[in-house]
Amino acid sequence: MVGQVLISGVLSGALYAMVALGLALIYGVMRVINIAHGPLLMLGAYTTYFLYSRAGMNPFLTVPIAMAALFVVGVLLQRTLVFRVVDAPELSSLLLTFGISIALVNLAQLAFTSDLRAVEFITGAWVIGGLALSKPRFIAFLFAAAVTALAFLFLKYTRLGKAIRATSQSREVALVCGINVARIHLLTFGLASALAAGGGALLAVIVAVQPEMGGVWTFKSFLVIVLGGAGNYPGALLGGLLLGLVEQLASLFLTTQLSEVVAYVLLVVVLLIRPAGLLGGRQT
Amino acid sequence: MTRKTLGLLALAAVVLLSLPASAQGPIRIGASLSLTGTYAKLGKNQHEGYQLCIKDVNAKGGLLGRKLDLVVYDDQSLPATAVRLYEKLITEDKVDGVMGPYSSPVSEAAANVTEKYKKIMVAPLAATTSIFRKGRKYIFMVISPAEGYLEGVVDMAAKRGLKTIAVVNEDTLFSKAAAAGAVELAKKKGMQVVFSEAYPKGNTDFSAMLTKIKAANPDVVVAGTYFDDAVALTRQMKELSVNPKMYGVTVGGDLPEFYDTLKQNAEYIYGATQWEPTLPYPGNQEFFETYKKDFGHEPSYHSAAGYAGCILYGEAVKRANSLDAEKVREQLLKLETKTIFGDYKVDQDGFQLAHKMVTFQWQGEKKLTVWPDELAQAKPRYPTPPWAQR
């Protein structure tokens, strides 16, 4: 039983990590807490749904398209709205992204209606040694792991990635070194939106798509990055896996109802013992 | 704003409010409905049910010799907004009667207002028992309570001699009540509840819970669900090959989307519904046809309950021969009738006693009524084969 549950924990943990990495990026670089992260994920899910149902595409192949589309949306949001609150007190960015989130959810309700949509693509499981490996969840896991790994490689080894990390460490020094900080901000928000969209696209195969599906993901991502250390990118990975495992183990040994409680208790404990998160704050 | 304009505004307000409502104009029925927001689709169906009812009543000459008129506002699916709107309907618009909003939480909130002003509110889409057990005098229930949703599955299981049952539910008002009803009934029928657990709203991963259910190996699994969780739960039951002899869900299982989403995996699954167009209730067929013609789509049970609730209010007014709340209340308490929605009879709290839930099973892409026997269209396909053989 424990083996089965550990598998589920790792499978959902990878998805948490991927989505939360987006939130961590924005927070790290701009100190903006993006409440609209979940609704951006929802838009990614709708992209997959429409490409699957209207154009008959394989939903897993729509992942890069959803990511590219939401990258553009993210850049536009940054260019028109979010850049205004980058240097403002944190409450302003909270209010702004909260507003964006409400607007996105309601626009989605208007445009797509609140009907529940689903992408029925692969169901069932592979059974290996008595343990069931859910097909859709496992494929989603592989995609999430690959995208997260690519994002890390990008941050670590490319010039742009280094520029993003430099901006995150110290904006002034980055400016002095000739980095176009405004452009880095655009890129960061786009990249973060793309990560959310990727998560949404993968989720579309697992759960129903509807305008309010994103809300819970904002909170989960928030939980993950605080656990791992806000603005710390490997921390998002650790936090994601941890959240996935804790939720599943709590469901097994206590009840499913208590799994969220346990996750938040863990958050409080971590904040008490290591206020900056498990891997510490904004180091990159 | 200057003191003078304020004064003028106040004066205008006083003048407007003191205009007497024309005594022999139409009878104005007010309601707030969820025309936007989470419940938009369902609220719209209920709205159309009201509209069709008003049209039908007017076609038969109206009530007390007066025509009916419907005043509707949008509460955006928010209980707090509904409270404000009922306050406005009653105190500013001075409507002659009100009808209930959509959903239990919104009805619960609105009932505080209608009770305060002693207005009769037939609440056709409130299914939560507690709303009617708070000593309220003027609210009336039309649909079956949440506790009855899983009655059919449990009853069929007990008749087939099944002994063990697992009950799970989303941790929200309605689903909790549905699960509690199932547990109580199963115990009464001598079944053993081997597993029972709630999961939080928005939960997407049920593998730990299902692993525990698999270990308990129950004959029957029933779930107090909405759509999302019903779909996710079913998919994961297949993935983890949890194979009960019967598996039933509550809400969500009756939507066409449920089958579209799960395809052949929805086969054999039981669900419950308040109403179906095929049920042999008086006038049901005509209602279905007219509704489809007027609104361009098929009615849901929300439409039918809305229609029936409004007809019931009209009937009570007719029998009381008055709009007076006390007299109408007396009639609604006494009334025993059958509408297109099925039976109506309430107890002293206005709580529905007579209306029956029907249980269906997905069979060959169709939702066929299998319980109760007198309304059944088909025999249940039993037992449910293991997932691998569907």
pLDDT in tens, A237-283: 999 999 999 999 999 999 888 888 898 898 899 889 888 888 876 55
Looking at the fold, whether B127 and B214 belong to one and the same domain comes out as: no
Indicate whether B33 and B119 sit together in one domain.
Answer: yes
B161 and B128 inside one domain? no
| B211: closest CA of chain A, how far (Å) | 6
Tokens of A14: 């990878």
Average pLDDT score over residue span A169-189: 92
Shared domain for B130 and B41, answered yes or no, is yes
pLDDT score at A116: 81
- Together in a domain, B206 and B316: no
pLDDT at site B19 = 47
ipTM of the complex: 0.80
| CB spacing of A113 vs B41 below 8 angstroms | yes
CB contact under 8 A, A4 and B209: no
CATH code, B203: 3.40.50.2300
Mind telling me how many Å the CA of B183 is from chain A's nearest CA?
18
Shared domain check, B153 and B240: yes
Chain A, residues 24-83, CB within 8 A of chain B, namely none
**Structural domain boundaries, residue B264:** 148-273+357-389
Distance in angstroms (rounded) separating the CA atoms of residues A163 and A156? 10
> φ, ψ for residue B101 (rounded to 5)?
-85, -175
Cα separation, B169 vs B196, whole angstroms: 8
Tell me, yes or no, if A251 comes closer than 8 A to chain B by beta carbon.
Answer: yes
Q: Is A230 helix (H, G, I), strand (E, B) or coil?
A: coil
Nearest to B215 among A1, A109, A137 (CB): A1
Q: Does B260 touch chain A (CB under 8 A)?
A: yes
Query: What pLDDT, in 10s, does the model give residues B213-267?
Result: 999 999 999 999 988 889 889 999 998 989 999 999 998 888 888 898 888 899 9
The per-residue pLDDT for A10 is 94
Put simply, the answer to whether B241 touches A132 (Cβ < 8 Å) is yes
- How far apart, in whole angstroms, are the C-alpha atoms of residue B240 and residue B236? 6
Q: Which residue in chain A is spatially nearest to B197 when comparing CA positions?
A: A255
Q: Are residues B90 and B51 in the same domain?
A: yes
Contact state of A256 with B263 under an 8 Å Cβ cutoff: no
Q: Is B296 helix (H, G, I), strand (E, B) or coil?
A: coil
User: Rounded to whole angstroms, how far apart are CA atoms A82 and A182?
Assistant: 11
A83 class by beta-carbon count within 10 Å (0-12 exposed, 13-18 middle, 19+ buried):
middle
In percent, the amount of chain A with pLDDT more than 70 equals 99
Which of A113, A135, A252 is nearest residue B212 as measured by Cβ atoms? A252
Which whole number is the average pLDDT over B258-278? 91
Average pLDDT, chain B: 91
- B130: DSSP letter: G
Give the pLDDT band (50/70/90) at residue A208: confident
Interface check A12 vs B, CB under 8 A: yes
Locus of tokens 């007299």: B327
Beta bridge partners of B164: B192
Q: pLDDT tier at A125 (50, 70, 90 boundaries)? A: confident
pLDDT at B248: 96
Q: Are residues B381 and B237 in the same domain?
A: yes
Domain count, chain B: 2
Looking at the fold, whether B100 and B121 belong to one and the same domain comes out as yes
B295 occurs within a structural domain: yes
- In chain B, the N- to C-terminal Cα span, in Å, equals 72
Q: Does residue A90 sit at the B interface (CB-CB below 8 Å)?
A: no
Least Cα separation, residue B316 to chain A (angstroms): 36
Q: Is A4 on the interface with B (CB under 8 A)?
A: yes
Same domain, B61 and B74: yes
What Å distances lie between residue B281 and A225, A250, B308, B343, B351, CA to CA?
57, 48, 12, 9, 21
Beta strands in chain A (DSSP E): 125-128, 131-134
Nearest C-alpha in A relative to B228 = A208
Task: List B224's β-bridge partners, or say none.
Answer: B169
In a domain, B12, yes or no: no
Q: Min CA distance, B133 vs chain A (Å)?
A: 27
Tokens 């009853």 sit on residue: B155
pLDDT of residue B9: 57
The answer as to whether B15 is a domain residue is no
Position B242 in a domain: yes
pLDDT at B388: 83
Three-class DSSP category at A241: helix
Query: What's phi and psi for A125, nearest 5 deg?
Result: -150, 155
Ranking A127-131, B63-67, B155-159, B277-281 by mean pLDDT, the lowest is: A127-131
- B147 DSSP 8-state letter: G
pTM of the predicted protein model: 0.79
Same domain (yes/no): B376, B232: yes
Specify the range with the lowest mean pLDDT, choosing from A229-238, B122-131, B239-248.
Answer: A229-238
State how far the alpha carbon of B134 is from the alpha carbons of B81, B129, B173, B347, in Å. Answer: 22, 10, 16, 13
B59 and B187 share one domain: no
Token representation of residue B65: 């010799």
Per the CB < 8 A criterion, the answer to whether A161 and A155 are in contact is: yes
**Amino acid B22: pLDDT:** 44
Strands B366-371 and B358-363, by their bridges, are antiparallel
User: Other C-beta atoms within 10 Å of A184: how many?
Assistant: 22
Mean pLDDT in chain A? 91
